[in-house]
Amino acid sequence: MTSSPTPDALLGPADIRELAAALGVRPTKQRGQNFVIDANTVRRIVRTAQVRPDDVVVEVGPGLGSLTLALLEVADRVTAVEIDDVLAGALPATVTARMPERADRFALVHSDAMHVTELPGPAPTALVANLPYNVAVPVLLHMLDTFPAIERTLVMVQAEVADRLAAPPGSKVYGVPSVKANWYAEVKRAGAIGRNVFWPAPNVDSGLVSLVRRSEPPRTTASKREVFAVVDAAFAQRRKTLRAALAGWAGSAAAAEEALVAAGVSPQARGESLTVEEFARIAEHKTTQDQEKESA
């Protein structure tokens, strides 16, 4: 039986600065790096994520390892995906030094998360990450799409992005991220994170977003790609009615109106009022139109 991690296994502010200095690491805005320096915050993230002892967790952007160590305290396995050469090189040594009894349950993938298509070991059941602000949404959607075994996700992102991801139809900030995230999961805000728990302190607030995967995506004969094409077109010109916004996608305003009416959606509606299921119906009717034209 493995011994439990020592109370001081997690990284505090002095540990983070010491590690960074030893590695010559200066957090860069280009990669959206803000390291969490508060042990209570990372433990709170793990609790909010409802990480269980049987979970296989994938973490994106582990940085110096603050959250990684907190995840290893609870999860069965943790796989971290890190793009930065220096950080990727140092993290396994940090895990071994601070949590030697769990080191064999840790794996590192040195790669851009957007290019990761497979992970070592068992399939991940949870995604928990402090996502770099500049790539948070595409990384989140890529991971949910690529690893269908991920049941639960908790990500820390810029507060504004958290609001967008969790926004319901009709909200001013409801948009492409809201609809696409909802294709995969039930999405909700799961708390706020203060600026003082980061080094360097960002000039924006952060928020937690919880995503619980749907048992199945919306029922539709249209493919995900076809549905997402409608979503992208609908929000490319937010102020326009769907009849006008979808004209390019459908081939003409008349064809867009035909697909909208067939889907039970008002041609005068705007994208921010539609659910993901309604976008799926519109895509489905466009596909039917195309098939009828081909067979005519």
What superfamily would CATH give domain 224-285? rRNA adenine dimethylase, C-terminal domain (1.10.8.100)
The three-class DSSP label of residue 187 is strand
**Interval 186-205 mean pLDDT:** 92
pTM of the predicted structure, to 2 decimals: 0.91
DSSP summary character for residue 195: G
Cis previous bond, 138, omega within 30: no
Q: Which residues belong to CATH 3.40.50.150 in the chain?
A: 13-213
* Third-level CATH fold of 13-213: Rossmann fold (3.40.50)
**Interval 177-206 mean pLDDT:** 94
**Interval 95-118 mean pLDDT:** 97
**Interval 112-122 mean pLDDT:** 97
Cβ atoms of residues 83 and 129 within 8 Å: no
Query: What local confidence, expressed as pLDDT, does residue 210 receive?
Result: 98
Query: What local confidence, expressed as pLDDT, does residue 170 receive?
Result: 95
Q: Which residues belong to CATH 1.10.8.100 in the chain?
A: 224-285
> Over pLDDT 70: what percentage of the chain?
92
Angle formed at CA 150 by CA 100 and CA 90, multiple of 5 degrees:
30
Nearest to 35 by CA among 200, 246, 182: 200
Annotated binding site for S-adenosyl-L-methionine: 34, 36, 61, 82, 112, 130
Q: How confident is the model at residue 291 (pLDDT cuts 50, 70, 90)?
A: low
**Interval 249-273 mean pLDDT:** 96
**Interval 19-40 mean pLDDT:** 80
Query: What local confidence, expressed as pLDDT, does residue 6 receive?
Result: 45
Confidence check: pLDDT of 98 > 50: yes
**Interval 176-186 mean pLDDT:** 98
Q: Is 203 exposed, middle or buried, given 0-12, 13-18 or 19+ CB atoms closer than 10 A?
A: exposed
Query: What local confidence, expressed as pLDDT, does residue 195 receive?
Result: 93
Q: Encoding tokens for residue 69?
A: 């160590």
Query: What local confidence, expressed as pLDDT, does residue 1 receive?
Result: 39
Angle formed at CA 152 by CA 53 and CA 9, multiple of 5 degrees:
45
Confidence check: pLDDT of 4 > 50: no
Confidence check: pLDDT of 90 > 90: yes
Say how far apart CA 241 and CA 233 lie, in whole Å.
11
Annotated binding site: 34, 36, 61, 82, 112, 130
Q: Encoding tokens for residue 3?
A: 């011994």
Query: What local confidence, expressed as pLDDT, does residue 107 receive?
Result: 98
Say how far apart CA 274 and CA 279 lie, in whole Å.
7
What lies within 8 Å, CB to CB, of 124 at 6+ separation is 56, 57, 58, 79, 147, 149, 150
Query: What local confidence, expressed as pLDDT, does residue 7 receive?
Result: 52
Query: What local confidence, expressed as pLDDT, does residue 30 receive?
Result: 54
Four-residue CA torsion sign, 8, 12, 14, 18: positive
What does residue 69 show for φ and ψ, rounded to 5 degrees?
-65, -40
Confidence check: pLDDT of 28 > 80: no
Confidence check: pLDDT of 5 > 50: no
